[in-house]
């Protein structure tokens, strides 16, 4: 066995599928040049509940699956597969990655020609095409960790002293000997692991890659940063760095490393600095989270009150002249209540929910003015100041809400253009059949966008000029001319290395990149410009996934389940099995099952997960006799896409005699 690939998965089925598809391409290229090479792929699943297991079993039967009944952590899960692996080389890779077609071949060639190499890592970019600095790192010595923890490495990334943690002074495009490789992609010689031992399970999630990298060097081998191939790593260092949990887990992992490998004196000093950092960063994380949640609310408070104050000054001068002043009660009692009522109206209209929409503001202001008018009607006569202030205040409040969102957007993005869904201008890179399939996915996604056109994935396309706005060599020009801000690549029609190269080339153009895996009902990408690698799954939304529909589906299960139990003396007369009838209904009421779930068919595992059901969408057509798997699959899709609670009621009422099946 030449290579064993190990992936640890936990509730990221979309990314896992895309990762496995990209690895399939890379394995195929490897086998073309080296048909004698044998490759094995392990997926260790840490008790995912998102349907990951079904995806692997149905679409990747060649994968060796290890199903854990609990989350054993990254190190322990990898070790499970390492014990079973037989490859000359081991690749530990994260599920949220996409490799190039020649990644495996280039990694093997480098290791074969560099016997001193114990392991290598590759150049990683995030979902926006930006270089991820964790592609190469140094050991977290006390000085290096100090500069990292207290921000010096961020201020002076190219410094050999302050920027040592991410080795920012080394050329990102040249091969370098480094100390630490990222656990997202570690290509290791198995004979080296036999000497160093596997991953240390003391580290639950972070730090095990640093520990293993250090042990490889201690065993007399070298670690290499190898940028001749690159991968997309969607998460990067993304595991919510602003969260207290990340701070605690990450920095405690550094303490474990220090106690294991440093002298007692250095370890104590290191632990002291780390613990100080934990308190500082944890406090900072709490403050950051608090501010991020209340900043918009506070901005609304200030701007709405300021708007009302300006209205008061204007109305005083316009109506009564410069000498007149309204009583202080208006400023210190009435206005604060008005402000709170308008903000409450905005809250009721979901004006604080993302994405921002102008109709939410309008609705919120209207609800607010109704509440203000009701409050005004109950005031004593002496506090009923001019109705004109309420009217003008309504206008100023809308302007204030709009300005606050412009301000927040500017702070976050550096510009005043708030993108609406109408501003999304999409181009799809792919050939006819697959490109059309992806466009159909978009049309079923309930999104508002402008489709610019198809881009042919190869150079000099003469055959289909009318169907395409250009070819792959003209992408940059097409973006500028057509103001494209989102590109979707059809994975089936364009090589991964070409996608990655284009993302790297266009990284400064603020383009959203997404990839549509072949035969999949989802698209993967990263929409965030400010959070490198934050996890973003698909934009395709099915009606069955709406929170309100999930709620109503459960309500129907409970109410109709209780109805079936109440009238069971009558209902059981028509059932095949009385025992099965009660068993089914009790499980539904308890929430273990549901009345209606999908038919078993190809592609079923790609749909949103539903509990096991008694009835199927095809039961809505009692005399249709669905036999074709494609028709059954299409019926499942229609049910998920267009689901309304009435659908379940109709299916149940048509099939009351099947409750005991």
Query: pLDDT tens digits for 525-562?
Result: 765 444 433 333 444 556 787 777 888 899 899 998 89
- As to burial, measured by CB atoms within 10 angstroms (0-12 exposed, 13-18 middle, 19+ buried), residue 366 is middle
Least confident of 262-266, 505-509, 537-541: 537-541
In contact, 606 and 18? CB cutoff 8 Å: no
pLDDT tens digits for range 41-82? 999 999 988 788 988 998 899 999 999 999 888 899 999 999
* 3 phi, psi to nearest 5 deg: -145, 135
As a whole number, mean pLDDT of residues 102-115 equals 97
pLDDT at 154: 84
The CATH classification of domain 421-541, taken from the options 3.20.20.70, 2.40.10.220, 1.20.200.10, 3.40.50.720: 3.40.50.720
Report how far residue 102's alpha carbon sits from residue 294's, in angstroms, rounded to the nearest whole number: 48
Report how far residue 60's alpha carbon sits from residue 72's, in angstroms, rounded to the nearest whole number: 23
The partner residues of 44 in beta bridges, in order of sequence, read: 8, 66
In contact, 515 and 495? CB cutoff 8 Å: no
**406 vs 206, residue with greater confidence:** 406
As a whole number, mean pLDDT of residues 585-598 equals 91
Top mean-pLDDT range of 135-144, 302-311, 358-367, 598-607? 302-311
* 46 phi, psi to nearest 5 deg: -90, 60
| pTM of this structure | 0.70
Which DSSP state fits 544?
A: G
Q: For the domain covering 3-136+172-237, report its CATH number.
A: 3.90.550.10
Angle separating helix axes 244-261 and 208-218, nearest 10 degrees: 20
Flag whether pLDDT at 395 surpasses 80: yes
* 331 phi, psi to nearest 5 deg: -75, -40
Residue with tokens 């999930």: 550
In contact, 428 and 488? CB cutoff 8 Å: yes
pLDDT tens digits for range 220-244? 999 999 999 999 998 643 344 445 5
Least confident of 273-277, 598-602, 613-617: 273-277
**Terminal-to-terminal C-alpha distance of the chain:** 49
pLDDT at 239: 46
pLDDT tens digits for range 459-494? 876 555 668 999 999 999 999 999 898 999 999 999
Percent of the chain predicted with pLDDT > 70: 86
Nearest to 359 by CA among 307, 424, 303, 422: 422
Percent of the chain predicted with pLDDT > 90: 42
- For the record, the structure tokens of 64 come out as 């060796």
In contact, 68 and 44? CB cutoff 8 Å: yes
Which DSSP state fits 605?
A: G
Report how far residue 630's alpha carbon sits from residue 628's, in angstroms, rounded to the nearest whole number: 5
Mean model confidence pLDDT for the chain: 84
Report how far residue 120's alpha carbon sits from residue 190's, in angstroms, rounded to the nearest whole number: 13
As a whole number, mean pLDDT of residues 7-30 equals 93
What are the extents of the domains in the chain?
3-136+172-237, 238-410, 421-541, 544-658
pLDDT at 539: 42
E-strand stretches of 195-321: 222-233
């Amino acid at each position: 066995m030449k290579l064993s690939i190990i992936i640890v998965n936990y509730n990221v089925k979309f990314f896992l599928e895309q990762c496995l598809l990209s690895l399939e391409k890379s394995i195929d290229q490897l086998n073309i040049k080296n048909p004698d090479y044998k490759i094995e792929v392990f997926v260790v699943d840490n008790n995912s509940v998102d349907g990951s297991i079904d995806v692997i079993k149905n679409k990747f039967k060649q994968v060796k699956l290890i199903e854990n009944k609990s989350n054993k952590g990254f190190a322990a899960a990898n070790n499970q597969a390492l014990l079973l692996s037989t490859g000359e080389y081991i690749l530990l890779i994260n599920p949220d990655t996409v490799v190039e077609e020649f990644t495996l071949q280039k990694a093997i060639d480098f290791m074969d020609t560099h016997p001193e190499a114990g392991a290598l890592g590759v150049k990683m970019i995030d979902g926006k095409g930006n270089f991820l600095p964790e592609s190469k790192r140094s050991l977290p010595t006390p000085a290096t960790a100090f500069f990292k923890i207290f921000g010096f490495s961020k201020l002076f990334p190219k410094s050999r002293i302050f920027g040592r943690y991410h080795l920012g002074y080394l050329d990102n495009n040249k091969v370098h000997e480094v100390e630490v490789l990222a656990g997202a992609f570690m290509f290791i010689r198995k004979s080296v692991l036999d000497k160093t031992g596997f991953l240390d399970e003391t580290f639950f999630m972070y730090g095990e890659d640093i520990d293993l990298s250090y042990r490889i060097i201690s065993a007399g081998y070298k670690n290499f940063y190898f940028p001749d191939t690159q991968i997309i790593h969607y998460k990067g260092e993304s595991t919510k760095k602003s969260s207290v949990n990340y701070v605690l887990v990450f920095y405690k992992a550094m303490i474990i490393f220090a106690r294991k490998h440093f002298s007692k004196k250095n370890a104590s000093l290191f632990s002291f600095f780390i613990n100080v950092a934990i308190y500082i960063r944890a406090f900072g994380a709490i403050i950051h989270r608090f501010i991020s949640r209340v900043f918009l609310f506070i901005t609304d408070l200030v701007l709405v009150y300021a708007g009302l104050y300006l209205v008061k000054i204007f109305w005083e001068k316009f109506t009564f002249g410069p000498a007149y002043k309204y009583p202080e009660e208006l400023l210190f009692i009435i206005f604060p209540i008005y402000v709170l009522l308008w903000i409450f109206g905005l809250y009721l209209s979901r004006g604080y929910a993302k994405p921002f929409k102008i109709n939410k503001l309008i609705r919120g202001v209207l609800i607010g003015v109704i509440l203000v008018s009701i409050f005004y009607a109950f005031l004593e006569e002496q506090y009923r100041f001019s109705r004109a202030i309420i009217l003008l205040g309504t206008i100023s409040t809308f302007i204030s809400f709009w300005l606050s969102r412009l301000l927040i957007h500017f702070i976050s993005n550096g510009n005043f253009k708030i993108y609406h869904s109408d501003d999304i201008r999409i181009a799809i890179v792919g050939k006819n059949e697959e490109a059309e399939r992806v466009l159909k996915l978009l049309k079923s996604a309930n999104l508002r966008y402008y489709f610019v056109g198809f881009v042919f994935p190869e150079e000099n396309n003469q055959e289909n000029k009318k169907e395409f706005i250009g070819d792959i060599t003209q992408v940059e020009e097409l973006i500028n001319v057509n103001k494209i801000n989102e590109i979707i690549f059809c994975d089936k029609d364009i090589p991964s290395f070409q996608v990655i190269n284009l993302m790297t080339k266009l990284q400064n153009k603020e383009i959203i990149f997404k990839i549509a895996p072949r035969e999949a009902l989802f698209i993967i990408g990263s929409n965030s410009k400010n959070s490198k690698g934050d996890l973003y799954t698909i934009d395709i939304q099915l009606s069955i996934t709406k929170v309100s529909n999930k709620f109503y589906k459960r309500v129907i299960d409970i109410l109709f389940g209780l109805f079936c139990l109440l009238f069971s003396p009558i209902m059981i007369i028509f059932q095949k099995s009385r025992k099965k009838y009660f068993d089914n209904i009790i499980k539904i009421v308890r929430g273990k099952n549901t009345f209606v779930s999908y038919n078993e068919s190809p592609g079923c595992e790609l749909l949103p997960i539903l509990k096991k059901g008694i009835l199927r969408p095809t039961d809505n057509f009692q005399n249709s006799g669905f036999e074709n798997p494609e028709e059954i699959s299409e019926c499942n899709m229609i049910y998920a896409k267009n689901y309304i609670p009435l659908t379940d009621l109709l299916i149940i009422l048509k099939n009351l005699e099947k409750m005991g099946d």
